[in-house]
Amino acid sequence: MDDVQKLIRRHQSITKASTAFIYAILVSIAMNFFWTPGHIYSSGITGLAQLLTTVSSQTMPVTISTALGLLVLNIPLFFVAWKNIGRNFTIFTIISVVLASIMIKSLNPIHLTTDPIICAIFGGAVNGFGTGTALKNGISTGGLDILGIVIRRKTGKSIGTINIIFNMFIVVAAGFEYGWPYAFYSVIGLVVNARVMDMVYTRQQRMQVMIITDRPKTVIDSVQNHIRRGITIVHDAEGAYHHDTKTILFTVISRYEMSELEEAMEESDPKAFVSISDTVKILGHFYEPKL
């Protein structure tokens, strides 16, 4: 049994390391092929590293590269992650950030276009896909991801406000440096980045599930074998058409778990009526697997 667990852990580590490498390639493509030629700033610590490069090139004898700035700015956050989140999480975060810095520095850009709208859209899409893929596979890309996890664990609140303020600072800096049209182009890139990331990383999207069945025990056993979720049972519901007795089951899942829910329902009661809707807000405990 120990050998099997070691094999599983080794496979997970290889998957995470491979994902970190893929993310590094994608963020370097976004940076070197789109953002830099189009004078577009990214979000979060990456955008701050770009800003540091711009300021240092104008005010200092030595220019601090975006690759170096990205690594240096993340170092204090590595200590925060090590202390508050965990060793394994921090190690793979360091790997992803170091690989990203190396790839940004070493990948030779190919001149595609300097059109700011194209650069904003495609840079945001490429980076959003890379970041979403990393988060989906249980690794962080550093930066505000770390603060978001720590704040959510300690207070139950999201980092949304901090994200907005931080990114507004980046956008205003883009406006002062390249002109206000470029600030709005950067906003386009931020929106595209966020939308693509949400399409790929679905773990944080909550959905309410209502199941109407006449085989409640079988359905509950099957769902809980596939997904670690609590289920609320409403007995003695009545169908309006045949007036037969039904049971209503309620639960909340993440969009990431949708395929497992479908598999569980197919196994337990293919004829059950299942209604799924997006959840706007949850009060109370909702289990999230630890990273």
- Most confident listed range (4-18, 22-36, 150-164, 189-203): 22-36
Q: What is the pLDDT of residue 144?
A: 81
Helix extents (H) in 60-179: 66-84, 87-106, 116-136, 144-155, 160-178
What's the average model confidence in pLDDT over 94-100? 94
Q: What is the pLDDT of residue 226?
A: 87
Question: Any idea which of 44-58, 88-102, 154-168, 259-273 has the lowest mean pLDDT?
Answer: 154-168
Taking alpha carbons only, the member of 89, 47, 164 closest to residue 55 is 47
Q: How far apart are CA 23 and CA 182, in angstroms?
A: 26
Q: How far apart are CA 166 and CA 219, in angstroms?
A: 46
Take residue 256 and report the two structure tokens written for it: 């990431």
Helix extents (H) in 179-279: 180-200, 216-226, 258-268
Domain ranges for the chain, please list them: 2-200, 206-278
| Cβ pair 199, 132 in contact under 8 A | yes
Q: What is the DSSP letter of 132?
A: H
Cα 268–213–209 angle (5° rounding)? 85
Q: How far apart are CA 271 and CA 181, in angstroms?
A: 55
Helices (H) and strands (E) counted in the chain, each on its own, are 11, 4
Residue with the larger pLDDT of the pair 134 and 204 = 134
Q: What is the pLDDT of residue 223?
A: 92
Q: Classify 206-278 by CATH class.
A: alpha beta
pTM to 2 decimal places: 0.75
Q: What is the pLDDT of residue 186?
A: 92
Q: How far apart are CA 60 and CA 69, in angstroms?
A: 14
| pLDDT at 1 > cutoff 60 | no
What's the average model confidence in pLDDT over 88-114? 90
Q: What is the pLDDT of residue 4?
A: 65
Q: What is the pLDDT of residue 157?
A: 63
Give pLDDT tens digits for 157-216.
Answer: 666 667 778 888 888 888 888 888 989 999 999 999 888 887 887 666 788 999 999 999
Q: What is the pLDDT of residue 169?
A: 86
Q: What is the mean pLDDT of the chain?
A: 86
Q: How far apart are CA 23 and CA 54, in angstroms?
A: 24
